[in-house]
Structure 1
Amino acid sequence: MSQPSAPFFIATVEPDGLQCDAWPEQPLLQSLEGGGIDWPSSCRNGTCRTCLGQLVQGAVRYEIEWPGLTAEEKAEGCVLPCVAYPVSDVVLQSSAI
């Protein structure tokens, strides 16, 4: 039998070091808000880019084929927490910093 996966991961927001539970079945933005972390947002569907952040550590997956990121941005570690689902513990930094 395989080891069951963790029920949730930990999301850390830099530079403040704030942390919250990050649930794999919900977008990171929803986990951040549920954990009392203020993160910029607007459309919640990956098009407005208000929530754009930098994935400093960890990994995410998307349920939509191509979120509102360029290939260069994805290569640089940019993420849209409104449509990004964690697949590991993550460390995020807001692009507004």
Structure 2
Amino acid sequence: MDITQAPPFFIASLETDGQQVDAWTHQPLLVSLEQGGIDWPSSCRNGTCRTCIAQLVRGEVRYDIEWPGLSAEEKAEGYALPCVAFPCSDLVLRRGT
């Protein structure tokens, strides 16, 4: 995705209760969740501790780091690390494992 062509934000929703926040394309998803009043677990904020892990029920994210702390299987199953993930579309999230 060409970030210069993207809208300024997408909508991120929680699967469980439908809470929604603006997910800004220029900042990590975790920051948008917190700014929107969602209490999301976090710790390291650099993609290694996995405290913030989420499953993307719908949507797509991108990473500025080469490989976040996810296994190939987790990525294939739609898991993401909101602390280092940037939204590329509207998202529906499920709290991780």
1:16 corresponding residue in structure 2: 17
What is the Cα deviation at residue 95 of structure 1? 1.5
What is the TM-score when the length of structure 2 is the normalising length? 0.92
How big is the shift at 1:40? 0.6
1:7 matched to 2:17: no
Give the alignment of 1:66-85 within 5 angstroms. 66-85=67-86
| C-alpha RMSD of matched pairs (Å) | 1.0
Of residues 87-96 and 40-49 in structure 1, the stretch that sits farther from structure 2 once superposed is: 87-96
Q: Paired residues, what number?
A: 93
1:18-33 alignment, distance < 5 Å? 18-33=19-34
Pairing of 1:44-83 with structure 2 (within 5 A): 44-83=45-84
Task: State, as a whole percentage, how many aligned pairs show the same letter.
Answer: 71
Distance 1:26 1:39, change over 3 A: same
Give runs of ≥4 in structure 1 deviating > 2 Å: none
2-side partners of 1:21 and 1:5: how far apart? 14
- Bigger CA radius of gyration: 1
Structure 2 gaps of 5+ residues are none
- How far did 1:83 drift? 0.3
Q: Any idea what the Cα deviations from partners look like across 1:18-47, whole Å, max 9, x if unmatched?
A: 000000010000000000011110000000
Provide Cα deviations, 1:39-81, integer angstroms capped at 9, x if missing partner. Answer: 1100000000000010000100000000000000000000000
Distance 1:90 1:39 in 2: 15
| Uncovered stretches (5+) of structure 1, i.e. residues with no partner | none
* Residue matched to 1:40: 41
